[in-house]
């Protein structure tokens, strides 16, 4: 015990030991050694290091090391994540009547797989998996986070990795993995995802086959000569690796934690060094941080809430074509958006939406700005239409009222759908009735709503937690600057006192 | 920025540092050490035993020397020359006596008021 106490005593700053070390050792010889004495000496050493140590760098380094140790320890208490993974492969079936190059078949399979992925990882699909009673995922998070955020979190836990085909004609394959703290659930979720891929593929293939059959039945009736060929089987989806049972879980990013600990510890060390001369300075730092927090929180409360509603739409080529086996052309969402946007985002259309009686948007802005400017602001600031992948696009609208945000996105979804149908009709209006029907499909892409307009549950702006943190940091920084400036005054004063004492 | 800092420094120096200067170091161990030294010069272990005797408070070595260091820096006590470096005695200064007197008067006022109020309650 005596050795431990001596060790703790050696942790006092060198300058202090030079002045009081001898008599302190004498005192330690007089007192009865115990754990209590050891704790008291250790606490005294730490306090003295903070209040007396003039070497900022040393103190900051010591605190950084302590921070790294604590953060490392915390990272060991974090729950492990278990990853289950599975590999699925898509093979396009060659068509005996219309042979295609291996590259074309490969492209078709890859597109088909990407399309399935978009469907299965859509908000609706993932929300259904999360809420499935047998799975009941993210239970704790669901108490405090909106479903939209939970879905986003699940998306980040799902990892889809495509294997680039080595040679032309190699089937498209992807590895799907899912990370979750519960080993059994990680596997069960992945099973569910793979099942959905397979089921979805079956449905899509069945639909294609029926279309194909109808098409050939029409042709056979018309010509009465050729027998109808058997419908193609569509793309084959194979599960190469079934969902694996996760083995050893993946822990948190310990290196990241230790780095954060070093950073935080270093910062605290600097702050402690700033407050080293008097204990009162620590209170000043805390008071400044609290003032910063209060000020920033008050400011953030003055900023009105903004909510965002989003919807995802996908463009697919028409399914009824003259030749159902022809490789469908890729539809570029960006290209199609360029065609649709001028109409949908035209000033007249946006004005119509703003002034709709049940929406009545930007009432305050309209009172002080011309409508034209309000429309411009809406277009540039609040409305965001971005392509998602190759053939889908996302519509997001930011507004202070969440219900109105959702209704506006619904308006846009309706607008895009109507525009698509109207354009197809306009192109097909000179055709015969039958031809018109076919041409209608030919002219207009199929526009599907993958994610309907969401009802935002929490505001996306302002991020009050972040603002409050910035406030704390600003308060600490301001106080540190003041104390750094004040240090020379304090030092001069301390020297004066010492001089007076010694004289 | 520099001007702003200087203004803040001036403010802090006048309000926090000076006005509350006496209060900052007048923590319990400091007060007990001053009270012990008011009787006569003592070394660290002597102070520890005396405080334990008259106040029933057991000051740990770390707490005792933390307080001694602060009191010396404030000029309220000072170390005396001694041949035995391991038992260096301390003496209360005039400034230390004044501080102790003021603090005792304040505590006395608080105690009297509290006792009076307890009586009437």
Give the one of B43, B61, B74 whose C-beta lies nearest to A28's C-beta.
Answer: B61
Distance CA A76, CA B61 (A): 36
**Residue A497, SS3?**
helix
Q: What is the DSSP letter of B41?
A: -
Q: Compute the average pLDDT of residues A443-461.
A: 50
**Residue whose structure tokens are 């754990």:** A35
pLDDT of residue A225: 53
State whether residue A236 is helix, strand or coil: strand
Distance in Å, alpha carbon of B71 to nearest chain A alpha carbon: 11
Which chain A residues contact residue B64 at CB under 8 A? 27
- Cβ neighbors of A148 (< 8 A, separation 6 or more) are A123, A454, A456, A457
Higher-confidence residue of A436 and A352: namely A352
Average pLDDT, chain A: 73
pLDDT of residue B14: 32
In DSSP notation, A118-183 reads HHHTSHHHHHHHHH-TTT--SHHHHHHS-HHHHHHHHHHHEEEEEEPPSSTTPPEEEEEEEEESSH
> For a pLDDT cut of 90, what percent of chain A falls above it?
0
Asked if residue A439 has pLDDT above 70, the reply is no
Q: How many CB pairs under 8 A join A and B?
A: 99
State whether A20 and B93 contact (CB < 8 Å): no
CB contact under 8 A, A24 and B44: yes
Could you give the C-alpha distances from A473 to A56, A484, A486, in angstroms and in order? 19, 16, 19
The nearest CA of chain B is from the CA of A501 a distance in Å of 5
Which chain A residue shows the shortest CA-CA distance from B77? A501
Render the burial of A8-29: b for 16+ CB within 10 Å, e for the rest.
Answer: bbeebbeebbeebbebbbbbbe
Find which of B5, B15, B45, B65 to mutate to test the A interface (most A CBs within 10 Å of its CB): B65
Neighbours of A416 (CB within 10 A): 24
- Judging by beta carbons within 10 Å of its beta carbon (0-12, 13-18, 19+), is residue B92 exposed, middle or buried? buried
Query: pLDDT at position B7, please?
Result: 35
ipTM above 0.85, yes or no: no
| Section B45-70 average pLDDT | 90
pLDDT at A339: 76
Residue written as tokens 């540039």? A380
Could you read off the pLDDT of B10-44 as tens digits, one per residue?
333 333 333 333 333 344 788 899 999 999 999 99
What is the pLDDT, as a whole number, of residue B42?
92
Average pLDDT for A215-244 = 55
- Angle, helices A183-223/A123-131, rounded to nearest 10 degrees: 130
Provide the pLDDT for residue B78: 92
Q: Which residues contact A433 (CB under 8 A, 6 or more apart)?
A: none
* Weakest-pLDDT range from A26-30, A216-220, A464-468, B66-70: A216-220
Whether A435 shows a pLDDT value over 50: the answer reads: yes
Strand order in the sheet with B77-79: B42-43, B89-92, B77-79
Confidence (pLDDT) at A429:
58
- Please give the pLDDT value at position A85: 81
pLDDT in tens, B63-121: 999 999 989 988 899 999 888 888 899 999 999 999 899 888 988 898 889 899 988 87
Q: Please list the alpha-helical segments (H only) found in B38-76.
A: 44-55, 61-74
pLDDT confidence bin for A420, thresholds 50/70/90: confident
Q: Say yes or no for a CB contact (<8 Å) between B65 and A47.
A: no
Residue A5 distance to chain B (closest CA, Å):
10
- Contact check, Cβ <8 Å, B5/A485: yes
Strands, E, within chain B: which ranges? 42-43, 77-79, 89-92
What would the mean pLDDT of A392-399 be, rounded to a whole number? 82
In A278-350, beta strands by DSSP E: 307-316
**Cα distance from B84 to chain A (closest Cα, Å)?**
9
Q: How confident is the model at residue A414 (pLDDT cuts 50, 70, 90)?
A: confident
Average pLDDT of the residues in A465-473: 72
Cα A153 to Cα A138: distance, rounded to the nearest angstrom: 9
Interface of B with A in 11-70 (CB under 8 A): 12-13, 16-17, 20, 24, 43-45, 48, 60-66, 68-69
A254-311 pLDDT tens trace: 677 777 777 777 777 767 666 655 555 666 677 777 788 888 877 877 777 778 888 8
Burial class (CB in 10 A: 0-12, 13-18, 19+), A133: exposed
Report chain A residues whose CB lies below 8 A from the CB of B13: 486, 489
> CB neighbours of A245 closer than 8 A, spacing ≥ 6?
A84, A183, A187
- Which candidate in A501, A502, A503 is best for mutational testing of the B interface (most B CBs within 10 A)? A501
Kindly tell me if the per-residue pLDDT of A445 is higher than 70: no
Confidence band of A145 (pLDDT split at 50, 70, 90): confident
Q: What is the pLDDT of residue B45?
A: 92
Asked whether the predicted pLDDT for residue A24 surpasses 60, the reply is: yes
Q: Do A278 and B66 touch (CB under 8 A)?
A: no
B positions 95-114 inside 8 Å of A (CB) = none
Q: What is the mean pLDDT of residues A44-58?
A: 70
Nearest by CB to B60, from A40, A280, A493: name it: A40
Interface of A with B (CB under 8 A): 16, 20, 22-31, 36-37, 39-45, 47-48, 52, 278-280, 284, 478, 481-482, 485-486, 489-490, 493-494, 497-498, 500-502
**What's residue B13's pLDDT?**
38
Q: Are A460 and A307 in contact (CB under 8 A)?
A: yes
A26/chain B closest Cα distance in angstroms: 5
Query: What CA–CA distances, in Å, run from A418 to A65, A316, A447?
Result: 63, 16, 10
- What is the chain A residue with the closest CA to B86? A23
B75 reaches A (C-beta below 8 A): yes
pTM given for the model: 0.47
Residues written for chain A: 503
- What mean pLDDT do residues A401-427 have? 79
Span of A139-143, A146-150, A320-324, A373-377 with lowest mean pLDDT: A320-324
Q: With an 8 Å Cβ cutoff, are B85 and A22 in contact?
A: yes
Evaluate if residue A115 carries a pLDDT over 90: no
Average pLDDT over residues A162-183: 72
- A32-41 residue pLDDT tens: 888 889 889 9
B26 closest CA partner among B17, B37, B34: B34
Binned at pLDDT 50, 70 and 90, residue A123 comes out as confident
pLDDT of residue B98: 92
């Amino acid at each position: 015990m005596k050795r431990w106490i001596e060790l703790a005593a050696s942790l006092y700053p060198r300058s202090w030991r030079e002045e009081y070390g001898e008599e302190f050792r004498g005192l330690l010889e007089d007192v009865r050694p115990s754990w209590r004495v050891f704790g008291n000496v250790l606490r005294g050493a730490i306090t003295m290091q903070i209040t007396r140590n003039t070497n900022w760098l040393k103190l900051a380094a010591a605190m950084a090391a302590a921070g790294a140790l604590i953060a490392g320890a915390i990272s060991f208490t974090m729950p492990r994540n278990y990853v289950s993974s599975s590999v699925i492969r898509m093979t396009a079936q060659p068509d005996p009547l219309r042979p295609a190059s291996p590259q074309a078949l490969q492209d078709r399979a890859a597109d088909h797989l990407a399309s399935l992925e978009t469907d299965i990882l859509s908000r609706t699909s993932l929300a259904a998996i999360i809420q499935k009673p047998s799975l009941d995922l993210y239970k704790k998070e669901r108490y405090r986070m909106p479903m939209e955020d939970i879905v986003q979190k699940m998306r980040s836990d799902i990892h889809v990795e495509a294997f680039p085909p080595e040679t032309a004609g190699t089937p498209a394959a992807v590895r799907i993995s899912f990370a979750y703290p519960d080993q059994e659930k990680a596997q069960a979720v992945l099973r569910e995802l793979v099942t959905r891929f397979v089921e979805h593929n079956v449905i899509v293939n069945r639909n294609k086959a029926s279309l194909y059959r109808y098409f050939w039945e029409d042709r056979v009736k018309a010509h009465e000569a050729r027998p109808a060929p058997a419908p193609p089987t569509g793309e084959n989806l194979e599960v190469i690796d079934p969902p694996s049972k996760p083995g050893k879980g993946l822990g948190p990013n310990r290196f990241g934690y230790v780095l954060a600990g070093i950073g935080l510890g270093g910062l605290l060390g600097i702050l402690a060094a700033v407050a080293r001369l008097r204990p009162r300075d620590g209170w000043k730092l805390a008071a400044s941080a609290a003032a910063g927090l209060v000020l920033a929180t008050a400011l953030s409360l003055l900023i009105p809430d903004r909510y965002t509603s989003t919807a995802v739409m996908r463009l697919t080529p028409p399914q009824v074509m003259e030749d159902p086996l022809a490789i469908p052309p890729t539809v570029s969402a960006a290209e199609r958006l360029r065609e649709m946007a001028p109409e949908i985002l035209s000033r007249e259309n946006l004005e119509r939406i703003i002034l709709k009686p049940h929406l009545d948007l930007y009432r305050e802005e309209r009172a002080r700005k011309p409508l034209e400017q309000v429309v411009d602001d809406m277009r540039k600031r609040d409305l965001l239409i971005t392509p998602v992948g190759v053939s889908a696009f996302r519509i997001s609208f930011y507004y202070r009222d969440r219900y109105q945000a959702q209704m506006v996105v619904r308006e846009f979804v309706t607008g895009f759908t109507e525009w698509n149908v109207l354009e197809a009709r306009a192109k097909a209006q000179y055709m015969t009735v039958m031809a018109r029907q076919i041409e209608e499909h030919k002219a207009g892409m199929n526009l599907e709503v993958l994610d309907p307009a969401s009802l935002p549950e929490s505001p996306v702006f302002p991020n009050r937690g972040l603002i409050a943190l910035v406030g704390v940091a600003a308060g600490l920084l301001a106080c540190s600057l003041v104390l750094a400036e004040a240090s020379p005054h304090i030092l001069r004063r301390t020297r004066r006192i010492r001089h007076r004492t010694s004289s | 920025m520099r001007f702003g800092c200087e203004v803040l420094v001036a403010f802090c120096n006048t309000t926090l540092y000076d006005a509350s200067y006496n209060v900052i170091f007048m923590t319990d161990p400091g007060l007990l050490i001053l009270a012990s030294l008011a009787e006569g010069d003592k070394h660290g272990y002597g102070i520890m035993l005396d405080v334990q005797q008259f106040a029933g408070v057991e000051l740990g070595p770390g707490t005792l020397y933390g307080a001694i260091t602060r009191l010396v820096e404030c000029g309220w006590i000072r170390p005396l020359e001694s041949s035995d470096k391991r038992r260096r005695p301390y003496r209360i200064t005039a400034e230390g006596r004044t501080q102790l007197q003021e603090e005792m008067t304040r505590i006395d006022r608080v105690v009297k008021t509290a006792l009076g109020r307890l009586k009437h309650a």
